[in-house]
Amino acid sequence: MTISFKKITLDDVESLMGIEILCHSHPWTHKTFSSCIDGRYFGEYAQTTAGIIGFYIGEHVAGEATLMDICITPDLQGQGYGKILLLRFFEQAKSLDNNMAWLEVRAKNISAQMLYINQGFTETGRRTGYYPSANGFGYEDAIVMKKTL
Ligand SMILES: CC(C)(COP(=O)(O)OP(=O)(O)OC[C@H]1O[C@@H](n2cnc3c(N)ncnc32)[C@H](O)[C@@H]1OP(=O)(O)O)[C@@H](O)C(=O)NCCC(=O)NCCS
């Protein structure tokens, strides 16, 4: 199936929020998502004729890009689409003259960490108790990762 990538605009936020809410225990609000469009942010969603597969949002400042969010619609996870979108994030980040990529991931989010490690990210630090726990009790560490592009 052919996948196409579309730049995310404010008009897309409503439909992408549907995926955001399904993907995260503590999703972005519509307002936060809307504030991550254009300017120093860049993002795309991936789609086929069957519909939207997922999206990523990046931020870039002074030659370094941060992966702010990446989501694959739950029914389609584990089929290689996350890797396709992550590679697309690298391509776009490089085309915007960034030579380093950064991200933060929940310590318990093993599937995301496997995706990142398999694509060359390495852990550079931890932020203790950074996220409210996915199960609503206590807090969870953030793992900070980086990769040279
Ligand atoms: C994280 C996420 C984007 C990954 O997308 P995906 O389409 O499910 O992942 P893929 O099928 O492309 O898998 C990519 C790699 O991760 C590995 N992987 C994925 N899930 C895994 C799991 N549960 N355990 C071990 N490895 C896993 C795969 O083996 C694959 O590695 P390979 O291609 O080098 O063999 C997706 O699961 C998601 O949207 N999760 C919810 C939102 C989220 O947590 N986003 C990240 C925020 S930091």
The atom number, within ligand 1, closest to the CA of 103 reads 48
Is residue 116 flagged as an active site residue? yes
| Spatial separation of the C-alpha atoms in residues 47 and 55, rounded to whole Å | 9
Distance of CA 65 to the CA centre of its chain: 12
**Res. 73: pLDDT tops 90:** yes
Residue-level pLDDT at 49: 94
Residue 120: DSSP 8-state: T
- Categorize the per-residue pLDDT at 135 as very low, low, confident or very high, splitting at 50, 70 and 90: confident
Q: What is the CATH number of the domain that holds 88?
A: 3.40.630.30
Instruction: Tally the domains of the chain.
Output: 1
**Res. 125: pLDDT tops 90:** yes
Residue-level pLDDT at 136: 84
Residue-range definition of the domain harbouring residue 61: 4-148
pTM, full prediction: 0.95
Ligand 1, from 25, 75, 85, 114: best to mutate by most atoms within 8 Å of Cβ? 114
Supply the residue whose CA is at minimum distance from atom 21 of ligand 1. Answer: 111
Which phi and psi (to 5°) does residue 108 adopt?
-90, 0
Is residue 45 flagged as an active site residue? no
Average pLDDT over residues 81-104: 98
Give percent of the chain with pLDDT exceeding 70. Answer: 100
Average pLDDT over residues 62-84: 97
**Res. 134: pLDDT tops 90:** no
